[in-house]
Amino acid sequence: MASPADAETETTDEANTIVVLAIDYPPLIGEKLANFGPIYELMDTYAKLHFDTMIHPRFIPPARAQKIVHDGDWCLTTYPPISKEVEAVFVPLMEGNIRLGLLRERKPEISGPFTWDSLNELRGKSITILRSNIKTDFHRRLKDAGIDVVEVESMQQGIDLLLKHRVDYAQADNISYLSFPADIREKLELSTSSLFETRVGFYFNRVCQDRLFKAGHIPPEDSFQSDILTR
């Protein structure tokens, strides 16, 4: 296995630049967004204050990001590690959580909030989630509930499938939903129930700690945590 210094952390446009592994998840983070989106802007601000290096994002498909992180060939990522064997430390960038739920089409015959008490209530329905190489407890819970899981490369791809009536529901989060165009929000509603909640931040590989942080700065001791694992 290549070391982080040899693999996904190679220099980019400057000699002292480390790659941030990321996946497209507009409007929160994305290759085509202004300044790569608000999450990356928060991370860039943190890096300027606390890192002894510059950073630059590399956007790759979620399954590939998961494999690279699992193999340990990285220093920084916004993609949550799945395996507890990964030497990852989480750095929060803001207070509060992002709530991930499901989108459904608004229909006149459906009244009341979109909610559920148990995933079993969605048995037989199809939903989109981001593609993954490693099946987590989250995947298993969906399968055990009899839900048809359709893996996609981006949230937008899931929304497109929903609007084309190819799936029943599409995964989305509460912050992104508020930024959807008005015509999309008129067509789709976000569930009040959640699949899971997660914090906003990034992960660093513990083996890169000395290379990343400025002398005298003590990084957080919030070692590996991923809400996806525990839901």
In contact, 128 and 169? CB cutoff 8 Å: yes
The residue-averaged pLDDT of 125-138 equals 78
Tokens read off for 68: 């690279």
Q: What is the DSSP letter of 213?
A: B
Task: Tell me the per-residue pLDDT of 151-194, one tens digit each, with 9 for 90 and over.
Answer: 998 889 999 999 999 999 999 999 889 989 999 999 999 999 99
Q: Any idea which fold 96-196 has?
A: D-Maltodextrin-Binding Protein; domain 2 (3.40.190)
Higher-pLDDT residue of 95 and 133 is 95
pLDDT in the model for residue 134: 54
17-95+199-230 and 96-196, same CATH topology: yes
Q: Is the pLDDT of residue 231 over 60?
A: no
Secondary structure of 102-125 as H, E, C letters: EEEECCCCCCCCCCCCCHHHHCCC
Give me the residue spans of the domains in the chain. Answer: 17-95+199-230, 96-196
pLDDT in the model for residue 130: 83
pLDDT in the model for residue 196: 84
Q: What ranges in 127-192 are assigned the alpha helix state H?
A: 137-144, 155-163, 174-179, 182-187
Higher-pLDDT residue of 231 and 30 is 30
What is the percentage of the chain residues whose pLDDT exceeds 90?
A: 50
Q: Is the pLDDT of residue 9 over 50?
A: no
The Cα 53–Cα 18 span in angstroms is 7
pLDDT in the model for residue 170: 97
In contact, 73 and 64? CB cutoff 8 Å: no
Tell whether domain 17-95+199-230 is in CATH 3.40.190.10.
Answer: yes
pLDDT in the model for residue 14: 59
pLDDT in the model for residue 137: 75
**Is the entire prediction scored with pTM above 0.75?**
no
Cα–Cα–Cα angle for 197, 98, 93, rounded to 5 degrees: 115
Task: Tell me the per-residue pLDDT of 18-67, one tens digit each, with 9 for 90 and over.
Answer: 999 999 888 788 888 888 988 999 999 999 999 999 999 999 998 899 88
Higher-pLDDT residue of 88 and 131 is 88
